[in-house]
Structure 1
Amino acid sequence: MPFSSFRHVLALLAVLALAGCASTAPSPSGEVDAAAIEAGVRATLDAQVEAWNAGSVRGFMDGYARTDTLRFLSGGTVREGWEEALYGYIRSYPDAAAMGQLAFSDLSVSPLAADRALVWGRWRLQRDGDAPGAGPGGLFTLILAETPDGWRVVHDHTSAE
C-alpha cells in the first residue's frame, strides 16, 4: 500500500472512531445530544432513588455536586454548599423509617447546554402508616451539570404539597 493511501486509511479510521464516541458536545450546528443528556441525568436521578430507598442519605447526596456553590431551596430556607444540604437531609430524615420509599414521577429533562440540564418533576414518599399514595410529596426543579463524576445536581428547588 502506498504511503499516501495508508495515511488516508488512518485518517478514515480516526474519523470513524470519533464519530462513534457518544458526546454531549455541541455539533457544528450548535445542537446538543439531548438523548445522551437525558440518559445521563436520568441515571443520576435513578441512583438517587435507589440510594434513598436503601436508607442511605449519603448515597442520595452522591447525586449532588460536592461544591460550596450547591444551592438547595426548600421550605423557605436556602442552604449553600454540599455539606449544608447533607445536614439538612439528615436532620429531616434521621433514619430509614423517616425516609420511607421515594418515587419520582412526571420527569421532564430539558438540555440547557452541552453540560447543563433543567429537570422538573414530582416526588412522593411512602412510609409506614401513610395511606397508599398519600405520603408526603411535592414538586422539584433541578439544574444538573455534567462533571468528571457524571451528572450532578448544582441547584435544587423543592416544594411540598
Structure 2
Amino acid sequence: MKRLLVVLCFISAFNSSAQSTDDTDKKEIQALLKAQRIAWSDNNIEEFMAGYWKSDSLKFYGSNGVTHGWENTLERYKKAYPTEDHTGKLNFKINAISKISDGAYYVMGEYHLKREVGNADGIFMIILKKIDDEWKIIADTSS
C-alpha cells in the first residue's frame, strides 16, 4: 500500500510539473506573439522578425509560394508592407496553441490588420521551436 501511494504521489508530481511547463511554454509563446503584434503595429518589421528563427532553414508559406530563409522573409515583408499605411495595426485571435513535442508547438489563429490602404484579414499556422532557450518561429503559413 505504501508503494502504491509513493508511485501515485510521484505520478501526480510529474503530471503537475509537466502541466506547469506546458503552461509556462504557452505564456512565453503568447508573450512572443504580443511583442510581434506591438512591433508590427509600430511599423517595425525588423523587430517583428526577431520572433523568427534567424536561419536559412526558416520557411514562410504564403500566397506567392514558399520563401526560404530569414533574410528573404524580411525582404518579402518589406516589399509587401513598404509603409506604415500598409502595416497598420495588427491584432491576433489565437485559436489553438498545441504541443507537438518537448520544445515544439504549433499555433493556429487569425490575423486582422486595420490600415489606411484597406483592412486585411486571414488565418495562419506557425510552428515554434525553443532554440537557445528562446521560442522562435521556424515555419509560418499565412493566407
Say if 2:141 is the partner of 1:142.
no
* SS of equivalent to 2:52: coil
The Cα of 1:107 is off from its aligned counterpart by: 3.3
Q: State the AA in 1 paired with 2:75.
A: Y
Q: State the AA in 2 paired with 1:109.
A: I
> Which residue does the alignment assign to 2:138?
154
* SS of equivalent to 1:62: helix
Provide Cα deviations, 1:15-68, integer angstroms capped at 9, x if missing partner: xxxxxxxxxxxx59xx56221111111111110001001110101000100011
Cα contact 2:125–2:141 (8 A) shared by 1? yes
Task: Please give the alpha-carbon distance, in whole angstroms, between the structure 2 residues aligned to 1:67 and 1:154.
Answer: 9
> Which residue does the alignment assign to 2:5?
none
Give the unaligned 5+ runs of structure 1. Answer: 1-26
User: What are the within-5 Å matches in structure 2 for residues 10-159 of structure 1?
Assistant: 31=18, 33-128=21-116, 130=118, 135-148=119-132, 150-159=134-143
The alignment's C-alpha RMSD in Å is 2.0
Task: Please give the alpha-carbon distance, in whole angstroms, between the structure 2 residues aligned to 1:84 and 1:113.
Answer: 28
Q: State the AA in 1 paired with 2:49.
A: M
Give the unaligned 5+ runs of structure 2. Answer: 1-13
If the length of structure 1 is used for normalisation, what is the TM-score?
Answer: 0.74
Structure number, greater radius of gyration: 1
Structure with the higher fraction of residues in helix conformation: 2
Task: Please give the alpha-carbon distance, in whole angstroms, between the structure 2 residues aligned to 1:154 and 1:116.
Answer: 10
Provide Cα deviations, 1:93-146, integer angstroms capped at 9, x if missing partner: 01111100010013310011121001000001001264xxxx111000000011
Q: State the AA in 1 paired with 2:26.
A: E
Q: State the AA in 1 paired with 2:114.
A: Q
* SS of equivalent to 1:125: strand
Aligned length: 129
Task: Please give the alpha-carbon distance, in whole angstroms, between the structure 2 residues aligned to 1:155 and 1:47.
Answer: 18
* SS of equivalent to 2:51: coil
Q: State the AA in 2 paired with 1:142.
A: I
